[in-house]
Amino acid sequence: MITVGNVLVGAGVRGCLDDAIPASARRVVVVTQEGIPPVAVARPHDVVTIGTGEEHKTLATIERLCRAFATFGLTRSDCIVGVGGGMVTDVAGFAAATYHRGVDVVHVPTTLLGMVDAAIGGKTGVNLPEGKNLVGAFWPPAAVLCDTELLATLPEREWRSGHGELAKYHFLTGDDLLAMPLEERIGRAVAIKLAVVENDPQERTGARATLNYGHTLAHALEIEGRFDLRHGEAVAVGLVFAAELAAALGRIDTARLGQHRAVVAAYGLDGRLPAGVDPERLMILMRRDKKATRGLTFVLDGPHGVELVEDVEPAVVRAAFDGMEWAP
Ligand SMILES: NC(=O)c1ccc[n+]([C@@H]2O[C@H](COP(=O)([O-])OP(=O)(O)OC[C@H]3O[C@@H](n4cnc5c(N)ncnc54)[C@H](O)[C@@H]3O)[C@@H](O)[C@H]2O)c1
Ligand SMILES: [Zn+2]
């Protein structure tokens, strides 16, 4: 078992759930989805199931959850447990942040992406028709249990999606996460993310921006929504694109660009643009990115490592698109 702050990683760590739930909690509500492996809770508890898919990540779901908490009689000193992928932990975390003005939450992520990213770091929230994750709160979990046994049923596609985030961490530190056994790989990713979050827990100083490496184009591809990409798959394309852009700006050389393509491929991902995307349309979407307060803004590699670069010339962004390969 590996411990990073209040995150436990290892086979069977779900068995530590009762110890992870604060002693004050007399009752627990488990928030989960159909098809997620069940997790045993020792204290009196209720289980509430939410719908599968981003279309259920809404304020309506938060209302339904909070009403279920009230019906069950959950109090401020009780605890909510999120068992599922990033969608479940984002929703359970936001409901916990707002019910009775905030109750404790413990996360048991069941996807690789949840373990290395979504369930840690304290961001919670839901979507609006106007955009993803537009309403939310910073609500750090009391504990996170990353039980690798729960990944036994995870579909291949979801593994790949988690590897997109791992490839991102690879570039942030140079660590070859693939060379590590699974438990260590997850533990190392958690440590990388928490070290960044610690310096900027509420995303006020910009230090957290590096965690968005590869995400400017990824978010644009996800908003377009026509390409059926899982989040980490979109990040993989975004990482290669960020490298093309850094090369076009003279920030990195062709060897480092080639390394980006090679690392993305090694993590089992496709760094090519999906057939049919329109770069001009993606540029409009990237301009609306939350980071883009001053022109087209990207997180880019360079002589000082990965950092935020503002006001990138549209002509250079077009040149980066020209350098990209296309999936058939
Ligand atoms: N809060 C953050 O910092 C943060 C970071 C990254 C992503 N996110 C959010 O996370 C969400 C994506 O999370 P995700 O990639 O984990 O997807 P997800 O939660 O939608 O899960 C993907 C699918 O896998 C299923 N599943 C989950 N665990 C399973 C298991 N063990 N066995 C079988 N099936 C299982 C789910 O039911 C779902 O159908 C998005 O909503 C995104 O906005 C949040
Ligand atoms: Zn991400």
SS (H, E, C) 201-217: CCCCCCHHHHHHCCHHH
Ligand minimally distant from the alpha carbon of residue 34: 1
Q: Which of 49, 56, 107, 113 is the best mutation target for the ligand 1 pocket, counting ligand atoms within 8 Å of the beta carbon and taking the most? A: 113
Going by alpha carbons, the residue nearest to atom 12 of ligand 1 is 86
| pLDDT score at 289 | 75
Atom of ligand 1 nearest to the CA of 53: 20
| pLDDT score at 120 | 97
Going by alpha carbons, the residue nearest to atom 30 of ligand 1 is 154
3-state secondary structure of 226: coil
Question: 31 near 48, Cβ under 8 Å?
Answer: yes
- Integer Cα distance of 145 and 81 in angstroms: 10
Give the amino acid at 275.
A
Q: Which two tokens stand for residue 230?
A: 């899982």
Q: What's the 20 CA to ligand 2 centre distance in angstroms? A: 26
Q: Is the CB of 153 under 6 A from ligand 1?
A: yes
Atom of ligand 1 nearest to the CA of 165: 6
First to last CA, the chain: 43
Q: What's the 231 CA to ligand 2 centre distance in angstroms? A: 6
pLDDT in tens, the chain (328 residues): 999 999 999 999 999 999 999 999 999 999 999 999 999 999 999 999 999 999 999 999 999 999 999 999 999 999 999 999 999 999 999 999 999 999 999 999 999 999 999 999 999 999 998 888 999 999 999 999 999 999 999 999 999 999 999 999 999 999 999 999 999 999 999 999 999 999 999 988 888 999 999 999 999 999 887 778 999 999 999 999 999 999 999 999 999 999 999 999 999 999 999 999 999 999 999 998 777 777 899 999 999 999 999 999 999 999 999 999 999 9
Q: Which of 87, 168, 235 is the best mutation target for the ligand 1 pocket, counting ligand atoms within 8 Å of the beta carbon and taking the most? A: 87
Name residue, tokens 């990033």: 86
Atom of ligand 1 nearest to the CA of 121: 3
Q: Is the CB of 52 under 6 A from ligand 1?
A: yes
To which H or E segment does residue 22 belong?
A: none
Ligand minimally distant from the alpha carbon of residue 90: 1
Q: What's the 212 CA to ligand 2 centre distance in angstroms? A: 7
Going by alpha carbons, the residue nearest to atom 9 of ligand 1 is 86
| pLDDT score at 91 | 98
Question: 222 near 132, Cβ under 8 Å?
Answer: yes
Going by alpha carbons, the residue nearest to atom 16 of ligand 1 is 85
